[in-house]
Amino acid sequence: MIVAIDGPAGSGKSTVAHAIAEKCRLTYLDTGAMYRSVTAECLRRGIDPTDSGAVTQVARTTSITFGTSPQGQTVTANGRDVTAEIRTPEVDRNVSAVSAIPEVREAMVELQRAYGETGNVVAEGRDIGTVVFPKADVKVFLTADPAARALRRAVQREGGDAAKDANATADPTEVKRILDDLNRRDQLDSTRKTAPLKPASDAHHIDSSTLSVDEVVKAICSLDPRLEAALMEPRS
């Protein structure tokens, strides 16, 4: 089966998708990491993220693979570990420009669908339910208040997880800077011509602003009997 989770940056998509993959024994597909890998590769080579021709060439020739480590999922681009690099503020600022290029999205969607053909998958991004897997078994559009999203991202950069720790705090100046960046990215992602950020017509809307990860996971799993059964299965 395929579970598609879409939503804006900082809404908790990655954390929730990770949890569902682990609890329901699905393969986690981080589509955002693919666009971030292309962005990181462009920045490393000194390529302007708005140079569509050069960026498209990078997207078409970059091999992106996922792995695991004791700390979680790892990402490599052309054999180079970019797990930490793709989460830097510089990549944050440029990934929307890269992902807005139609040819880049075509290349990434092809890779994503190939992953989806390998088995049971939970995928998260911005156009999973509308473009990548329009026939997904479960579609969710996960949102959150912009201020909550900014705090989560700031805490994440400081090594914490606000989605799991309701009392987590971060530097107010950094939170404000991230909030401004998220608002800018939301505008870019929702207004781009190719595969804009928007919910699928049959997606279930969930606001995670005041919900814990477990509460969001349970809400999503309740949408399909197979997920609900897998969630209740005792772990060995």
Q: Is the pLDDT of residue 142 over 90?
A: yes
pLDDT score for 165: 66
Cα–Cα distance measured from residue 205 to residue 71, given in angstroms and rounded to the nearest whole number? 30
Task: Say whether 124 sits in a helix, a strand or coil.
Answer: strand
Q: 140 with 5: CB under 8 angstroms?
A: yes
Is the pLDDT at 63 greater than 90? The verdict is yes
Structure token digits, residue 89: 């503020």
**Comparing 1-26+122-229 with 30-119, is the CATH topology the same?**
yes
Q: Residue 162: its pLDDT value, please?
A: 67
Q: Name the CATH topology of 30-119.
A: Rossmann fold (3.40.50)
| DSSP helix, strand, coil percent of the chain (3-state; round to 5) | 50, 15, 35
Q: How far apart are the first and last CA of the chain?
A: 22
pTM of the predicted model as reported, rounded to 2 decimal places: 0.81
Q: Which of the listed CATH numbers 3.40.50.300, 1.20.1640.10, 3.30.1300.30, 3.20.20.70 matches domain 1-26+122-229?
A: 3.40.50.300
Compute the average pLDDT of residues 88-92: 93
The mean per-residue pLDDT over the stretch 157-180 comes to 81
pLDDT, tens only, 187-217: 888 888 888 889 999 999 999 998 989 999 9
pLDDT digits (tens, 9 = 90+) for 127-140: 999 999 999 999 99
Cα gap 79→58, rounded to integer Å? 14
220 versus 117: which is more confidently predicted? 220
Domain range list for the chain: 1-26+122-229, 30-119
